[in-house]
Chains A and B, each alone.
Chain A
């Protein structure tokens, strides 16, 4: 029968296809198995894993295991301590002499020299290499030669960087910047081995660094196996045999794997699981402040928000937000109501102040109503909040904030939400100054310095000043702080500048974002640093 042979043929084809595709299967060690190895959740890094090109947590996590820089932020206190640097000296807060410690090398046995730093920094600054973190080098003399605003660079190296001998180099800055050495713990300033420049593709496939771990294997989009480097010369040797990072698309799935024993560590407990987490993990759940703050920024480039008197309206909106309730109800205390424009992870010594915002951040519906009326009412009688809603429960809290404002004002639904589908689209609208109402602005600090929370966001013309806030007095105080060589005085000056933010309210501090993590019974000594990244090298496997 003709039909029958056709059908048989089709069945065979399916069988062959099934068999052929099954060939890919193989053994997998899985999580929670190998002795001394930690398995941990990971997200696919957004960019290739180059130190000067990595500006998000997932890539940063790996760099923190692979690299050690001149300084390193103490995972507990955030203090910038010398790591490879023997000393960083200056007499004028503008010209620095960096001396390296002896005995450091990359895991391919190449010694770490002054040249390793200078080459890496020049590479990071060069516009031709398209590194996301280039602006971190913009304080150095000669940056404009390698990174012109347009056209081809005039040079491959910055004149402000001079190698004196294998252990010493000098850095000339364009302006005085007293806390500049403290910024050097940031990963963009990591040294790079020669292999990075000679065989870049191979390096990207299997990065070589000078940190406590080496890369055993790296499958992009799937995972990375890092192993303890036994010959690591530093004091912070890895306390475990290695870390297997596994890429998860969904943090819910990672959490499921953790509680069913397939994974040792998740560094992001999903919001939906927060109600179970104490039950599931007990004290193996970590929830601590990180260097992240969420704010609502006002579009001060829009005349209706910047005319005189509207600062009262802005303050009024701030006072109409019930931060305590929202952080409890929606975020289950993984956010802390904000009391200033920095983060408690800085510590009091680092400039965090629980009083900087003062009454302006305290919920008081009656006062809110009064302030908004005094300020001439909401522009056009309404206010619209904008944020991307693809991640981070943004939709939920925006609804809650609007409800809070509407209830406080009692004028019906005057506050509405404008949800934007993707982060990219939101960033587009935000950076082209198209928004006409307050919008979310999240800020994760690059280094634990109060400067990093204020200057890039509120200084006139600063890179991330999306609301175009401009205030002479504020700028002067920031300048003064940067010139100040005594760190305590510098911080006092920054805190002074925060008072202007409290008066003008260019952005409403909402809450500080905590880092959250959970781990299996196999691990101990698990902690998060200020960037909410686990301190992998300190984790012990029982």
Chain B
């Protein structure tokens, strides 16, 4: 197990380097950030040259990359154009998005798996059909539509919640955005667990457990659910990274100043330190979440062993 973890951690290094280089290259290809700093006016050549020199933009791309990586290992992620250090931006953005992601994951797990179990156990019944139709609708409607719709209904029309989230982003204000963010994944979780449950419900070990006279609730939670959760856990694990990075739409709608907001600003202003820095962290989150998922397999199914 320990060797497995170390091997996995070591594998992260090339992935980390490769992804940061790709992002670096892509942001660079977006155009000259300094030209955009001057708005509709022509940049003053001398000033622009100074800014380029300061930001290391006058060097060839590979040198910029090396310089950047050198800085990262010193814990310096560079400076955004408004003078704030990127680490400062991260310190303010990541907790907010993490909170939002956890709220979303929470709903995914609770609602998604519950619905999945219910419809999986009643395959073909009307409950099952309506859950399938409902999830299909949720999957096919884009997040920004549900976001604006729920915001309008709950925030403006009925006034149950504030339509936007205050800068501190406390948990109670994040419930609605969390649900919006979770909805599509939630539908997938429902469908995944439904299929899995429906398949396993006919398995020998379930029959044996039932034959032993175990109560139905114990059969479902201990025997059926635990074995059926493996694909669901895989999905949720990868979803952590996807939700953190993909919160751009939700964060925009509810004016949450998290990772999505900073990434959006960074891309719009072509601010490579911000974009590369944030995406680098997201890559790490992705990798760690995947590792966690793989380790959780052993918890769910002791037959799975790592060498």
Interface residues in chain A, defined as those with a beta carbon under 8 Å from any beta carbon in chain B:
2-3, 6-7, 10, 14, 17-18, 21-22, 24-26, 28, 30, 44-48, 55-56, 127-128, 130-132, 134-135, 147-150, 204, 219-223, 247-250, 252-254, 256-257, 259-260, 262, 390, 421-429, 431, 441-444, 456, 463-464, 466
- Do A256 and B164 touch (CB < 8 A)? yes
Would you call B139 an interface residue if the criterion is a C-beta within 8 Å of the partner chain's C-beta atoms? Answer: no
Q: Cα distance A92–B42 when bound, in Å? A: 30
13 extra interface residue pairs, beta carbon distance < 8 Å, beyond A3-B226, A22-B170, A132-B47: A17-B98, A24-B170, A46-B269, A130-B51, A134-B44, A150-B46, A221-B262, A222-B92, A253-B163, A256-B151, A256-B156, A424-B35, A426-B31
Q: Interface-forming stretch among B12-20, B117-125, B194-202, B250-258? A: B250-258
Specify which of B42, B251, B302 lies most central, judged by the most chain A CB atoms within 10 Å of its CB: B42
Instruction: Report A-chain residues with C-beta under 8 Å of the C-beta of B32.
Output: 424, 427-428
Specify which of B40, B172, B254, B270 lies most central, judged by the most chain A CB atoms within 10 Å of its CB: B40
Q: Cα distance A442–B162 when bound, in Å? A: 36
Instruction: Report A-chain residues with C-beta under 8 Å of the C-beta of B11.
Output: none
- Do A47 and B102 touch (CB < 8 A)? no
Would you call B268 an interface residue if the criterion is a C-beta within 8 Å of the partner chain's C-beta atoms? Answer: yes
Q: Specify the chain B residue showing the minimal Cβ separation from A41.
A: B255
Known contacts: A25-B171, A26-B170, A423-B36. The answer to whether A46 contacts B261 by CB under 8 A is no
- Do A250 and B253 touch (CB < 8 A)? yes
Known contacts: A127-B47, A149-B45, A247-B257. The answer to whether A444 contacts B40 by CB under 8 A is yes
- Do B164 and A424 touch (CB < 8 A)? no
- Do A48 and B255 touch (CB < 8 A)? no
- Do B159 and A249 touch (CB < 8 A)? no
Instruction: Report B-chain residues with C-beta under 8 Å of the C-beta of A429.
Output: 31
Would you call B205 an interface residue if the criterion is a C-beta within 8 Å of the partner chain's C-beta atoms? Answer: no
Q: Cα distance A230–B251 when bound, in Å? A: 38
- Which residue in A46, A130, A256 is a CB contact (below 8 Å) of B47? A130
- Do A424 and B299 touch (CB < 8 A)? no
- Which residue in A47, A249, A256 is a CB contact (below 8 Å) of B261? A249
- Do B84 and A220 touch (CB < 8 A)? yes
Could you list 15 A-B pairs, sorted by A, with CB under 8 Å? A3-B299, A21-B102, A24-B99, A24-B170, A28-B168, A44-B82, A46-B82, A150-B46, A220-B83, A221-B261, A249-B255, A249-B261, A250-B255, A256-B151, A257-B255
Q: Specify the chain A residue showing the minimal Cβ separation from B159.
A: A260
Identify the 3 closest CB pairs spanning chains A and B, nearest first: A25-B170, A425-B31, A424-B270
Instruction: Report B-chain residues with C-beta under 8 Å of the C-beta of A149.
Output: 45-46
Instruction: Report B-chain residues with C-beta under 8 Å of the C-beta of A132.
Output: 37-38, 44, 47
Instruction: Report B-chain residues with C-beta under 8 Å of the C-beta of A423.
Output: 36, 268
- Do B46 and A127 touch (CB < 8 A)? yes
Q: Cα distance A130–B45 when bound, in Å? A: 11
Q: Cα distance A396–B298 when bound, in Å? A: 54
- Do B82 and A47 touch (CB < 8 A)? yes
Would you call B281 an interface residue if the criterion is a C-beta within 8 Å of the partner chain's C-beta atoms? Answer: no
Q: Specify the chain B residue showing the minimal Cβ separation from A446.
A: B41
- Which residues 115-174 of B have a CB within 8 angstroms of A? 148, 151-152, 155-156, 159, 162-164, 166-172
- Do A262 and B164 touch (CB < 8 A)? yes
Would you call B246 an interface residue if the criterion is a C-beta within 8 Å of the partner chain's C-beta atoms? Answer: no
Instruction: Report B-chain residues with C-beta under 8 Å of the C-beta of A256.
Output: 151-152, 155-156, 163-164
Known contacts: A25-B169, A221-B89, A253-B255. The answer to whether A17 contacts B46 by CB under 8 A is no
Known contacts: A431-B42, A463-B41. The answer to whether A10 contacts B82 by CB under 8 A is no
- Do A464 and B40 touch (CB < 8 A)? yes
Q: Cα distance A127–B46 when bound, in Å? A: 7
Interface residues in chain B, defined as those with a beta carbon under 8 Å from any beta carbon in chain A:
30-33, 35-47, 49-51, 54, 81-84, 89, 92, 95-96, 98-99, 102, 106, 148, 151-152, 155-156, 159, 162-164, 166-172, 226, 251-255, 257, 261-262, 264-265, 267-270, 296, 298-300, 302
Q: Cα distance A134–B44 when bound, in Å? A: 8
Instruction: Report B-chain residues with C-beta under 8 Å of the C-beta of A262.
Output: 162-164
How far, in Å, is A230 (CB) from chain B's closest CB? Answer: 27
- Do B31 and A422 touch (CB < 8 A)? yes
Instruction: Report A-chain residues with C-beta under 8 Å of the C-beta of B166.
Output: 28, 30
- Which residue in B84, B171, B268 is a CB contact (below 8 Å) of A22? B171
How far, in Å, is B271 (CB) from chain A's closest CB? Answer: 9
Q: Cα distance A221–B96 when bound, in Å? A: 13
Q: Specify the chain B residue showing the minimal Cβ separation from A423.
A: B36
Q: Specify the chain B residue showing the minimal Cβ separation from A248.
A: B255
Instruction: Report B-chain residues with C-beta under 8 Å of the C-beta of A147.
Output: 44, 46-47
- Do A25 and B168 touch (CB < 8 A)? yes
How far, in Å, is B286 (CB) from chain A's closest CB? Answer: 17
Q: Cα distance A20–B41 when bound, in Å? A: 47
Instruction: Report B-chain residues with C-beta under 8 Å of the C-beta of A131.
Output: 47
Q: Cα distance A131–B41 when bound, in Å? A: 13
Instruction: Report A-chain residues with C-beta under 8 Å of the C-beta of B251.
Output: 249
- Do B254 and A253 touch (CB < 8 A)? yes
Q: Cα distance A244–B226 when bound, in Å? A: 52
- Do A257 and B164 touch (CB < 8 A)? yes
Instruction: Report B-chain residues with C-beta under 8 Å of the C-beta of A252.
Output: 148, 253
Instruction: Report B-chain residues with C-beta under 8 Å of the C-beta of A219.
Output: 167
Q: Specify the chain B residue showing the minimal Cβ separation from A204.
A: B83
How far, in Å, is A443 (CB) from chain B's closest CB? Answer: 6
Q: Cα distance A28–B156 when bound, in Å? A: 19
Instruction: Report B-chain residues with C-beta under 8 Å of the C-beta of A222.
Output: 92, 167, 257
Q: Specify the chain A residue showing the minimal Cβ separation from B105.
A: A14
Known contacts: A46-B81, A130-B54. The answer to whether A221 contacts B257 by CB under 8 A is yes
Q: Cα distance A426–B31 when bound, in Å? A: 8
How far, in Å, is A209 (CB) from chain B's closest CB? Answer: 18
How far, in Å, is B43 (CB) from chain A's closest CB? Answer: 7
- Do B38 and A48 touch (CB < 8 A)? no
Q: Cα distance A429–B268 when bound, in Å? A: 16
Q: Cα distance A26–B172 when bound, in Å? A: 11
- Do B168 and A424 touch (CB < 8 A)? no
